[in-house]
Amino acid sequence: MFKNKSFIIGITLLILITSFVFVDNTVKGQERLVLATTTSTENSGLLDELIPPFEEKFDIRVDVVSVGTGKAISLAENGDADIILVHAKDAEKQFVEEGYGVNRRDVMYNDFVILGPPADPANIKGMKKAKKAFKKIADTESTFVSRGDDSGTNKKELSIWSSANVEPAGKWYIETGQGMGASLNVANEKEAYILADRGTYLAYSSDLDIEILVEGDPELYNPYGIIPVNPAYHSHVNYQMAMAFVGYITSQQGQKIINEYTAYGKVLFHPSAITSKNLK
C-alpha cells in the first residue's frame, strides 16, 4: 500500500486546503436583504456609496443582484428578491397591480440618449423629438442596434418605436440580446444607431466613436422606482428591512448621496423623492 502514499497525500492536501478555505468563510448569521436591480445602476458605482451607511445603521447585509429590469421583476415575482430598484414604469405598475409589489416610491431619474456615428446617415443630429429621429432611422433603413433583452432600456426603445408608429424589423435592425456595454460596442463596430442610458454611455465614451445625436426629449426621461415585494404574497420576504431601505433611500440622507454622486466627472442620477430645496 506504499504505492499510493502520494495519492493519499494529494487527497489529504486537497481536504486540508478545502477545510482551510471553509474556515475563512464570508460573514454568516447576519440578516440579509436581497436587492434585485439593473446593471446600469450597479455598474454606475452609485450603490457602493448608497448602501454601506444603511448596512451600518441597520446591522444588515444588502446583497445586490444586478440583472436586466425584466429579470429583476421576475426574480421578485418568484419571491427570490426582497426588493427591486428598476426603471420601467409600465412594468413596475403592472408588478404592483398584480399584487407582487407594494409601496412603490420614486427614487431618482436620469435620461436616455440616442447615439450614432458622426457621419449620421439618417441626419438626426440635434433633433428634439426621439420618435421623429427613430422614424428617420427606420425610413433611411440605417443600422440600429437593439438590446432585445427585456431590460428597462429595451422596453423604452420599444415604446419609442411604437410611438413613432414603426414596427422595427429588417436587415437594418440588429438585436444583440446583450447588456448595454456589449451592445454599445456592437453599435460602434457597425457604425449604427443605438439608445443608451447616459451613465453607461459615459463609462464607455472614451472607447467609442459613436456620439450623442439626440437628447433632452421628455420621452427620454428615465425614472427609477423602488418596490418592496408584497409580504402577503411571499411571506418569507424581509419586508420590514425592505421598507426600512425604502425609507432610507428616499430620506434626506439617501437623496443627498444620490445628488452628490459623480462618475467620469459627471452627475449620473438626480434624486426625485424629495424636492430640491430639502437637499440643502
Partner 1 sequence: MDYIFSALKEAINLIITLDSEVTNVVGTSLKLSLTSTFLAALIGIPLGILVSKIDFKGKYFLNTVLNTLLSLPTVVLGLFVYSIISRKGVLGEWGLLFTIKGIIIGQVLLILPIVVALVRNAIHDIDEKMYKTALSLGATGSQKFRLLISEARYGIIGALITSFGRVIGEVGVSMMIGGNIKGFTRTITTAIAMETNKGRFGFALALGIILLSLSFIINFILYFFQSGESK
C-alpha to C-alpha distances, 164 to 122, 142, 160, nearest whole angstrom: 15, 16, 6
User: Does 39 help bind partner 1 (rule: CB under 8 A)?
Assistant: yes
Query: Which residue, 150 or 217, has its beta carbon nearer to partner 1?
Result: 150
End-to-end CA distance of the chain: 77
SS3 3: helix
Q: 35 phi and psi, to 5 degrees? A: -105, 115
User: Does 279 help bind partner 1 (rule: CB under 8 A)?
Assistant: no
User: Does 181 help bind partner 1 (rule: CB under 8 A)?
Assistant: yes
- C-alpha cell of residue 127: 433633433
Residue from 94, 98, 182, 216 touching partner 1 (CB under 8 A): that is 182
User: Does 4 help bind partner 1 (rule: CB under 8 A)?
Assistant: yes
Let me know: does 202 contact 268? Beta carbons within 8 Å. Answer: yes
Query: Which residue, 181 or 223, has its beta carbon nearer to partner 1?
Result: 181
Q: What's the rounded Cα separation, in Å, for the pair 215 and 65?
A: 30
Residue from 37, 38, 41, 43 touching partner 1 (CB under 8 A): that is 43
User: Does 260 help bind partner 1 (rule: CB under 8 A)?
Assistant: no
User: Does 234 help bind partner 1 (rule: CB under 8 A)?
Assistant: yes
Query: Which residue, 2 or 218, has its beta carbon nearer to partner 1?
Result: 2
Other beta carbons within 10 angstroms of residue 12's beta carbon come to 10
User: Does 6 help bind partner 1 (rule: CB under 8 A)?
Assistant: yes
User: Does 79 help bind partner 1 (rule: CB under 8 A)?
Assistant: yes
User: Does 203 help bind partner 1 (rule: CB under 8 A)?
Assistant: yes
User: Does 169 help bind partner 1 (rule: CB under 8 A)?
Assistant: no
Q: Which stretch binds partner 1 (CB under 8 A): 72-80, 97-105, 143-151, 220-228?
A: 72-80
The closest of 122, 162, 163 to 141, measured between CA atoms, is 122
Let me know: does 208 contact 184? Beta carbons within 8 Å. Answer: yes
Strands 105-116 and 221-228: antiparallel
SS3 43: helix
Q: Which residues form the interface with partner 1 (CB under 8 A)?
A: 1, 3-7, 9-11, 13-15, 17-18, 21-22, 24-27, 34, 39, 43, 48, 61, 63-66, 78-80, 179-182, 184, 200, 203-204, 207, 234, 236
